[in-house]
Structure 1
Amino acid sequence: MPGRLAIYDDTSFKEDARELIKNDMVINLHARYNIPPTIPIPALLNNGNYLYTHFGYLPSWASSKNSMNINARSESIYEKKTFRDSFKYRRCIIPINGFYEWRVEEKEKTPFLVSDMNKEYMALAGIWDEYFDSELNMNIVTVALITCDANEKLGEIHHRMPVVLDKKDFNTWLHCDDIKKVNELFTIYPNEKLKLYEVRNEVNKVAFDEASCLDEVIPKKEEENEPKEIGQLSLF
């Protein structure tokens, strides 16, 4: 259940989705490395608009923001009143460069960055709706990520992960009316495509949003802490 995202380069996604983007409102992406819910994230809607959206889904009929969802389970999305109409009519693609999950051991939480092993981005399946924000006095587009079971590699840390779309499935996800075919896209991302490594503890802080969030933490080997043997000294 990714609650933090890294989105700092959408160049490759725009190239792969260029035939689907009718109106590019994200001309210059604002790089972010530790995005929590409620912060704007880019999404390509099935109406062709590529724009910034509210990270946290609210159906148009929601009475308040207290009912916000950042994820929708693929197994039950069609059964839930909250998500059903958006799943049928308002699907989107959310391009990210990575997301964070945490390994929890006793009371200690260790952050890990999850990304694609070979590509510069991951295209996440999402849904969207328009919600009237009384504070802003305007309609806003809100989105949620769709999740499935985690693969074995990520499953050692967390049991859920986002649904990741292949480029060849972009058009089907956005425009296919056959729900059975759409459901076939809810597959678990293969282990060999997933990159996973530990990152610095500062990622735990929502306010920490620097490129160093992406830096890998190399665990110290036990032998590095052991005293080294001193060989025979030479006089010459």
Structure 2
Amino acid sequence: MPGRFFLTTPLADIAKFAGRADEALPEAKPRRNIQPGQDVIALTTDGFEPMRWGIIPVGRVNARGRPVMETIINARSETVFDKAAFDGVGRAVVIVDGWYEWTGEKRRKTAWRIHGNAPLIFAAITDVWKAPGGRDVKQVAMVTCEPNKDVADIHHRMGVLLRPEDVPLWLGNDLDAARALMVPWPDGMLSIEKADDVDWTAD
């Protein structure tokens, strides 16, 4: 599952890739280290907009009626549409150049950069958190599934990836059509390399 993202492709080119070239775009600088808790650019039926990566589950409860305490960064595809904790969430996509994962023991971890031959479209869910002072904070979490063979040696989960033509289905009202998209990305379409050149203290 995505630990961090990177996006250096201009957002205008991302919009063209998504078939949304005519839409208004927020400002977005190139970033090689997008972390949970920071803003990412999400695409919904309302267009592109910044959202906080991580759903603060204030007021959300699990199946036993107990409060969900941990911030939701990623949501499992197997339960995202069934768990009480996800009642009322919306859907979005997050388009980036790729993501990072880590392997190994603490203090000896190896960082890996994962990307394709084109931008990657991650299926996501959205929510709105009522922050102190009454400010509405739009939030997003990625949907994950079993890994394909490309990723399996690095992580036991991966983000659900979509083709551009799948985006309207994911953002649409047909829940069964959205469920059908939550499968591993086809094998052989991702490249993986060591990410020794990334400054993990920078955005």
Query: What TM-score range do you get, normalising by the shorter chain?
Result: 0.7 to 0.9
Any conservation in 2 of the 1:115–1:194 contact (CA below 8 Å)?
yes
Cα separation, 1, equivalents of 2:174 and 2:104: 40
The equivalent position to 2:53 in structure 1, one of 32, 52, 55, is: 55
Q: Compared with structure 1, are the counterparts of its residues 21 and 43 closer, same or farther at alpha carbon in structure 2 (3 Å cutoff)?
A: farther
Q: Compared with structure 1, are the counterparts of its residues 65 and 80 closer, same or farther at alpha carbon in structure 2 (3 Å cutoff)?
A: closer
**Residue in 2 aligned with 1:31?**
30
The equivalent position to 2:168 in structure 1, one of 167, 171, 174, is: 171
Is the radius of gyration larger for structure 1 or structure 2?
Answer: 1
Q: How many residues in Structure 1 have an aligned counterpart in Structure 2?
A: 197
Structure 1 unmatched runs, 5+: 210-236
Structure 2 unmatched runs, 5+: 62-66
The one-letter amino acid paired with 1:109 is: K
Cα separation, 2, equivalents of 1:78 and 1:65: 16
SS in 2 for 1:183: helix
Q: Compared with structure 1, are the counterparts of its residues 138 and 80 closer, same or farther at alpha carbon in structure 2 (3 Å cutoff)?
A: same
Any conservation in 1 of the 2:94–2:124 contact (CA below 8 Å)?
yes
Task: Give, in angstroms, the shift of residue 185 of structure 1.
Answer: 0.5
**Residue in 1 aligned with 2:42?**
43
TM-score (norm 2): 0.87
SS in 1 for 2:104: strand
The one-letter amino acid paired with 1:31 is: P
Give CA-to-partner distance per residue, 1:96-119, whole Å, 9 cap, x none: 111100121576210000111x21
Cα separation, 2, equivalents of 1:147 and 1:156: 16
Task: Give, in angstroms, the shift of residue 152 of structure 1.
Answer: 1.2
**Residue in 1 aligned with 2:84?**
81
**Residue in 1 aligned with 2:112?**
112
Q: Compared with structure 1, are the counterparts of its residues 114 and 154 closer, same or farther at alpha carbon in structure 2 (3 Å cutoff)?
A: same
The one-letter amino acid paired with 1:189 is: W
User: For structure 1, which segment, 5-14 or 72-81, has the greater mean C-alpha deviation from structure 2 after superposition?
Assistant: 5-14
The one-letter amino acid paired with 1:73 is: R
Task: Give, in angstroms, the shift of residue 180 of structure 1.
Answer: 1.5
Q: Compared with structure 1, are the counterparts of its residues 21 and 92 closer, same or farther at alpha carbon in structure 2 (3 Å cutoff)?
A: farther
TM-score (norm 1): 0.75
Q: Compared with structure 1, are the counterparts of its residues 208 and 182 closer, same or farther at alpha carbon in structure 2 (3 Å cutoff)?
A: same
Matched residues, percent identical?
27
The equivalent position to 2:155 in structure 1, one of 137, 158, 161, is: 158
Q: CA RMSD in A?
A: 2.5
Cα separation, 1, equivalents of 2:122 and 2:137: 20
Task: Give, in angstroms, the shift of residue 12 of structure 1.
Answer: 3.2
The equivalent position to 1:144 in structure 2, one of 141, 145, 163, is: 141
Any conservation in 2 of the 1:111–1:201 contact (CA below 8 Å)?
no
Task: Give, in angstroms, the shift of residue 36 of structure 1.
Answer: 1.2
Task: Give, in angstroms, the shift of residue 11 of structure 1.
Answer: 3.3
Any conservation in 1 of the 2:6–2:33 contact (CA below 8 Å)?
yes
Give CA-to-partner distance per residue, 1:39-79, whole Å, 9 cap, x none: 11100123x23111001013563599953111000011122
SS in 2 for 1:187: coil
Cα separation, 2, equivalents of 1:199 and 1:168: 30
Map 1:86-105 to 2 at 5 A. Answer: 86=89, 90-105=90-105
Matched, 1:183 2:175: no
